[in-house]
């Protein structure tokens, strides 16, 4: 059986979740590998959530939020952007690989962009292969 990546996406309520909904109303198709978890703000994405997902076998994780400057809570997404940088660093150290984490800004009008990012990310993870933690078994 071919490898089907498991992808977890954390979305903020105001922009990126709106984009995902809009991809739906516009019927823009993308691969069914992604599962969405909604927060009010991308600032809520606890690094532990990202690590938890990888430890439990996710092949890729997306962090998404409003464009810089558009955050509904003033500056939550700036903090998300910083956290993304250090998480990438740790994923490399852990041997999971920074490539498996993606940060994406989508406005509520960018249904197409959301679908395209999910598609591109799914393909990237497909090329990378399964989460190396899974192979060792847990």
Partner 1 sequence: MIKTAAVVGAGVSGMQAALSLADRGVKVFLIENTSSIGGIMARLDKTMPTLDCSICILSPFMLAVARNPMIEIMTLCDVVGAIKTEHGYNLEVLKRPRYVDLEKCTGCRDCMAKCPGKVIMPFEENFGRIKAIRFDFDQAIPAVPYIDKDACLYFSKGICGNCVKFCQKGAIDFEQQEETLNLEVGGVFLATGSRPYLPFDKTEYGYGRYKNVITAMELERLLSASGPTSGHVIRLNDKKEPKKIAFINCVGSRDLRTNRGYCSKVCCMYGIKEALLVKDHDPEARVTIFYIDIRASGKGYEEFYQRAKNSIRFIRGRPGELLELDNGDLLLRYEDTESQQPMEEVFDMVVLNSALVPSEGSEQLAKMFGIPLNEYGFFDAGGDPASPISTDNDKVFIIGACQGPNDITDCVSQSIGAVAKTYSIYGDVVERESKELPGTDKENPRVGVFVCHCGKNIGKYVNMDEIVEYAKTLPDVVYVEDSLFTCSESGQKSIKEKIQELDLNRVVVAACSPKTHENTFQEALVEAGLNPYMLEMANIRNQCTWVHSDCENESTEKSKDLIRMAVSKARLLDPLFEREVDVRQSCVVIGGGVSGMASAVELSRSGFEVSLIEREDHLGGKSYVTDPKYREIAKHLIDSVTSDENIRLYLSSQIVHVDGFVGNFDLTLDTPNGEVNANAGTFIIATGYDFADPSVDGYVIGGPVIAEEELVRMMDEERLAGKDFTFILCAGVRNKAHPECSRVCCISALRQIKRIQDTVPDANITVLYQDIRAYGYYEDIYRQVSENGARFIRYSPDSLPSIDANSKSVGVYDTTSSRTLKIGFDLCILERGAIPSRGTNELRQLFKASAAPTGFFAEAHLKLAPLDTAIDGVFIAGACQYPKTVEESLSQAISSAGRAGIIMGSGKYKVQPTTASIDEAKCVACGLCEKLCPYKALKMSEDGKHMEVIEVSCKGCGTCAAFCPSNAISMKGFTYQQEKEKIKALLRGVAK
Applying CB under 8 A, the residues found at the interface with partner 1 are 6, 8, 13-15, 17-18, 20-32, 35-41, 43-49, 52-53, 55-58, 66-67, 69-70, 72-76, 79, 83, 107-113, 115, 133-134, 137-138
- Which residues make Cβ contacts (< 8 Å) with residue 99, sequence separation at least 6? 124, 128
Closer of 82 and 92 to partner 1 (Cβ): 82
- Which residues make Cβ contacts (< 8 Å) with residue 28, sequence separation at least 6? 111, 112, 115
Closer of 104 and 110 to partner 1 (Cβ): 110
How far apart are the C-alpha atoms of 60 and 97, rounded to whole Å?
A: 10
Minimum CB separation of residue 83 from partner 1 in Å reads: 8
């Amino acid at each position: 059986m071919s490898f089907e990546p498991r992808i977890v996406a954390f979305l903020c309520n105001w922009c990126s979740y709106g984009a995902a909904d809009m991809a739906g109303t516009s019927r823009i198709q993308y691969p069914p590998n992604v599962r969405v978890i909604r927060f009010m703000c991308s600032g809520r994405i606890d690094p532990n959530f990202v690590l938890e997902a990888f430890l439990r076998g996710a092949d890729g994780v997306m962090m998404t939020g409003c464009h810089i400057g558009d955050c509904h809570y003033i500056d939550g997404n700036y903090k998300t952007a910083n956290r993304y940088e250090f998480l990438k660093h740790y994923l490399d150290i852990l041997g999971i690989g920074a490539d498996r984490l993606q940060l994406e800004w989508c406005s509520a009008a960018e249904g197409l962009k959301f679908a395209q990012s999910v598609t591109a990310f799914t393909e990237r993870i497909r090329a990378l292969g399964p989460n190396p933690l899974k192979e060792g078994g847990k």
